[in-house]
Amino acid sequence: MRDEQAYLISDAEYLSPALGRVFHFVAKRASGSYIYDLNEKPYLDMTSGIAVNQLGHSHPEVVEAITKQAQESIHTSCVVHYPANIELAEALAGIMPGDINSTFFCNSGAEAADGALKLIKILQPGRNNFIVHRGSFHGRTLGATALTTSKASYRKYFDPLIPGVNVINFPNTFACKTIDERRSFENQMHKEIELMFATHVAPESVAAIFIEPVLGEGGYLPAPIEYVNYLKHLRTLCDKHGILLVFDEVQSGMARTGKWFASEHYGVVPDIQLMAKGLSGGLPLGAFATRKELMYKMPPGSHGSTYGGNPICCRAALKMIEIIKRDKVLDKVLDSSEYIFKYFENKFPGSNSHKLSDTEIHSPVKVRGLGLMIGLEFASGEITTKIKEYAYSKQVLVLPCGAYGNIIRLAPDLTMSEADIQKGLDIIAEAIKLYC
């Protein structure tokens, strides 16, 4: 095998620079919660491949399921029907919220968003407006890029994108320092869409509202739930005006927040749900899903995919769902989440953004999130860069997010041991004490 330097030289020579990298080491292998470099140096992975590897890297039972499937068949495409594909659609119907029971498989989150846009166009003829939330990330295809507002650099070279995309603020009640502030903020938030409807976007022209129940790239920010249920508010508005409600659960879905889908925390069922990332825990699989009567409005041939929902990805997803149920992973996620919040509250009193008192308690870090989708907010992006680099020097991998890069996101695999979580947090806490 070549050494690291030789690989990095070839990387720069032959790969597109468009795809940025965060850490410049070459991974030889990955297993459980660790990635190993070419010299077998281990790195604790608190990114899980950007919130993908729900059961850690290369879970042996998933590897076995993939191997067995590969021996039976790797790819047939839509030339025929195949069991793994049908079994997975059935299994998803059993865990998706409410009456969502019909799935279209594709290869990624962006494709899921694009496919959903086509479905919406079929379902809502004559309604040419969409509403998205500022800070959202829905993917990199042109359709998904048009819906994405998490960073201007993602859109910079590509305007004009599809027309009719209207942006409203994602309500960040965590920015409020006191209970009173939060209450008045919530009144304002309710008025925002109504003002948009009254001033420049007639509600009967809106086809769909898109939201990530927990904003991912935009800052690991759950939609408000404590004082007012924002998703319920959207559901009511959508029902009133005949608008479709789309939850992008690409990052927040598949057990990441301690429920199969984050919408369950809010008790709200969308019309359309997007999935990818954790759906097959590391293999390229995406999906959009809706009620059968809506999905059946999409005539045969109106959408398609050569690879989407191929047998290997579907087998991996089926095995993952089986293990999550068998090993009670949803409970484990909630326990680990509570552990992380308590850890920070002990080290940095006042850090829990979900708990407000009448007066502000200063903390160098503010912690918010659902399940194992936890955001650590700092005063600036410079601080998070230093924390990320310090952690890297101690062989712990964490990623920043948010428009200003001032959030560290914790998205470990859902089965990371308490000892490893503590090891990662201890290093982050050391960095906070050094740099804040």
- Nearest CB to ligand PLP, comparing residues 34 and 154: 154
Q: Which residues lie below 8 Å from residue 408, measured CB to CB, with a gap of 6+?
A: 375, 376, 378, 384, 387, 388, 398, 399, 400, 401, 428
CB of 435 to ligand PLP, least distance (A): 27
Question: What's the rounded Cα separation, in Å, for the pair 323 and 335?
Answer: 17
- Nearest CB to ligand PLP, comparing residues 399 and 421: 399
Handedness of CA 174, 179, 180, 186 (dihedral sign): positive
Q: Under the criterion CB under 6 A, does residue 216 sit at the interface with ligand PLP?
A: yes
CB of 140 to ligand PLP, least distance (A): 6
Question: What's the rounded Cα separation, in Å, for the pair 162 and 60?
Answer: 43
Residue closest to ligand PLP (Cβ): 109
- Nearest CB to ligand PLP, comparing residues 248 and 420: 248
Q: Under the criterion CB under 6 A, does residue 110 sit at the interface with ligand PLP?
A: yes
Q: What type of residue is 417? A: S
C-alpha of 216 from chain center:
5
CA dihedral (230, 220, 143, 84) in degrees, to 10, reads -100
CB of 277 to ligand PLP, least distance (A): 6
The only residue of 114, 217, 264, 377 in contact with ligand PLP, by rule CB under 6 A: 217
Helix (H) or strand (E) holding 265: helix 263-266
- Nearest CB to ligand PLP, comparing residues 49 and 364: 49
For every residue of 240-304, DSSP letters joined together read HHT-EEEEE-TTTTTTTTSSSSTHHHHT---SEEEE-GGGTBTB--EEEEE-HHHHTTS-TTSS-
- Nearest CB to ligand PLP, comparing residues 108 and 149: 108
Q: Where are the beta strands (DSSP E) in 134-189?
A: 165-168
Interacting positions 173-212 with ligand PLP (CB under 6 A): 212
Q: Under the criterion CB under 6 A, does residue 248 sit at the interface with ligand PLP?
A: yes
Q: Where are the beta strands (DSSP E) in 313-385?
A: 366-370, 373-377
Q: Under the criterion CB under 6 A, does residue 114 sit at the interface with ligand PLP?
A: no
The only residue of 57, 138, 368, 409 in contact with ligand PLP, by rule CB under 6 A: 138
Q: Under the criterion CB under 6 A, does residue 219 sit at the interface with ligand PLP?
A: no
- Nearest CB to ligand PLP, comparing residues 138 and 265: 138
Q: Under the criterion CB under 6 A, does residue 139 sit at the interface with ligand PLP?
A: yes
Q: Under the criterion CB under 6 A, does residue 251 sit at the interface with ligand PLP?
A: yes
- Which SS3 state, helix, strand or coil, does residue 409 take? strand
CB of 282 to ligand PLP, least distance (A): 12
60 preceded by cis ω (within 30°)? no
- Nearest CB to ligand PLP, comparing residues 108 and 129: 108
Helix (H) or strand (E) holding 208: strand 206-211
Structure tokens at 226: 């404590």
CB of 279 to ligand PLP, least distance (A): 10
Please give the residue ranges that form the binding site for ligand PLP (CB under 6 A): 108-110, 113, 137-139, 212, 216-217, 248, 250-251, 276, 286
